[in-house]
Structure 1
């Protein structure tokens, strides 16, 4: 009767040696197998290989659910701001920390525990080396998913931190079963990357301030329509019906010096003085708040106020037309009655003479 074979020995026998992987067409799966073997051996002289490999597509909820048991959670980042994850299970953490600190690995794994900052500090260097070799192996491979350029940037304490730091989208997970120390121990490493390529932060605005600046610049370059309103009058319906081409509409003289510049919503945005520029009507704008009429009254008749600037070059005020002063109806009636009385008295005086 034959003796039972250690499962770790079977996994090593079934796994592809690193020397044979060099002769195969490169892919992310083959690159990871090479990276794990070479990274572990070159970093600490540890013998490691990949006994199982699978690729899965999962959501952010799927990632969070996979972290129910204790894991060492590394956040991975690219220079362009794309994020990923490296998840070490408790068995791989204890085995790697034990070997990297003491130089040996016990055959019996310790009880599962939560990773510590010491674990993170010890394993981060190994992870960096594995990802570096992974990148090098994929350097000349075309049509790759977004799996290159990642490096460890920080660690998360739990699944809740992951759910808050990552977007709800599709992710690509490489689940790698590790054979450590010639089969002495096993563990699982999960590398998670975005499923599809997306715009890196370097292609987007570099900061909120830069984005706001670009946005404001685009707004400033857009066209807006304003109206220069000389005066607003209230007319009766009869007066409106009698208007025709050539009709004279008397306006107050001071309106020439306080033309209201208004936006599309009818709100005043500036105050100016009526003038000319290259033979066309123009408005000379006052500097400062356009809200009050008191400002506009500061314009001198000749347009020489120091708080005024020309909106267009060579703006000159138009000659002030002679505008007949309009009297109130009651005042006109009183003057007419006075004239009638003087006429009556004059006639009586001539008759008595």
Structure 2
């Protein structure tokens, strides 16, 4: 009696599954990308309906001569994917011949070899579905499924699947732009047993007042310049004005393993040594904490050369 009541409740629910937009979009992207990446086959969705159905309704939807694959899911849950004959034939043809013929192959019953050849595409599509739903609530019922085994027909499903509600993603697809149309049914337990993804808290949920948060965001984006100083040399204005192209300036205390990382006003922040990273100049810090010293300690003593009379007269 309980099963009868449950079925009536399931039929009374809306055909659109709870949270369906996430699974709808995710399955479209995942199956199309799997066909493209695994075989170079163009696959387009003509329609996709997400419905909540009982096991009896699921068994009635199985396409004739469909390839039926059982799927393992989280918590021991079982799902099913059904491929219409034209879909299976197109997958096999593309993998074996590298192209689709001008004529659609006649329908035939799928074999175990056919299932083995399309298992990789099915798993790739299911993994793609996991990725697209990684941060969505639909992952709890649509994520974590993988290919398990092949069934010769739909009759064993009545014994293998639990007498429960299922979410059915029924898609009408076209293949290879050749006018080949077929159905793909993805059947998963409605009451998901997977974990609900934990979405990290965003900065918008900060306890800081809006103005403070906005101001902080602007300040944190401001540039902060640091100079890597190899050595310093003090010259008089006369010496600077007399410099010529090709002249060499000797840095008496320069050392590649003793670089001073300083602010624009000469304040030392840390010590470092010169090196390379991916072909670019780089410095590696030698000190774990900033050494807050005055700018004068990082500079060399001024030259002992007397100041020219004309400069002294100018003040």
Q: State whether structure 2 residue 84 is matched by structure 1 residue 86.
A: no
- TM-superposed CA distance for 1:26, in Å, is 6.8
Structure-2 separation of matches of 1:140 and 1:68 = 33
Q: Conserved in 1, the CA contact under 8 Å of 2:49 and 2:170?
A: yes
Aligned to 1:80, the other structure's residue is in SS state helix
Counterpart check, 1:74 vs 2:69: yes
**Aligned equivalents of 2:149, 2:138: Cα separation in 1:** 29
Q: 1:180 aligns with which of 157, 171, 175?
A: 175
1:169-212 residue CA offsets vs partner (Å, 9 max, x unmatched): 11110011121112442221100011123599xxxxxxxxxxxx
Report the equivalent of 1:43.
38
For residues 26 and 187 of structure 1, what CA distance do their matches in structure 2 show?
22
The equivalent residue for 1:52 is 47
Residue of structure 2 in register with 1:98 after alignment: 93
Q: Over residues 287-337 of structure 1, what are the superposed CA-to-partner deviations in whole Å (9 max), with x where a residue is unaligned?
A: xxxxxxxxxxxxxxxxxxxxxxxxxxxxxxxxxxxxxxxxxxxxxxxxxxx
2:56 pairs, out of 49, 56, 61, with 61
The count of aligned residue pairs is 176
Q: Is the 8 A contact 1:41 1:47 kept in 2?
A: yes
TM-score by length of 1: 0.47
Give the 4+ runs in structure 1 shifted more than 6 A: none
Aligned with residue 134 of structure 1, among 129, 133, 136 = 129
Q: 2:165 aligns with which of 147, 152, 170?
A: 170
Partner of 1:148: 143
Residue range with higher mean Cα deviation, 95-104 or 61-70: 61-70
Contact residue 177 and residue 187 of structure 1 kept, 8 A: yes
1:249-268 equivalences under 5 Å are none
Q: Which has the higher contact order (CA 8 A, sep 6+)?
A: 2
Task: Find the aligned partners of 2:139 and 2:148 in 1 and give their Cα distance.
Answer: 23
Task: Give the gaps of 5 or more residues in structure 2.
Answer: 1-19, 196-315
Larger radius of gyration: 1
Distance 2:27 2:154 in 1: 25
Q: Residue 145 of structure 1: CA displacement? A: 5.1
8 Å CA contact retained: 2:74, 2:194 = no
- Contact kept, 8 Å, 2:174 with 2:180, in 1: the verdict is yes
* 2:108 is aligned with 1:120: no
Alpha carbon RMSD of aligned pairs, Å?
2.1
- Provide the rounded CA distance (Å) in 1 between the counterparts of 2:155 and 2:34: 30
Q: In structure 2, do the counterparts of structure 1 residues 155 and 136 end up closer, same or farther at CA, with 3 Å as the change threshold? A: same
Partners of 2:66 and 2:84 in 1: CA distance: 5
Give the conservation status (yes or no) of the 8 Å contact 1:172–1:192. Answer: yes
- Separation of aligned partners in 1, 2:48 and 2:140: 17
When residues 122 and 138 of structure 1 are mapped into structure 2, their CA distance, relative to the original with a 3 A threshold, is same
In structure 1, stretches of 5+ residues that fail to align are 1-24, 201-353
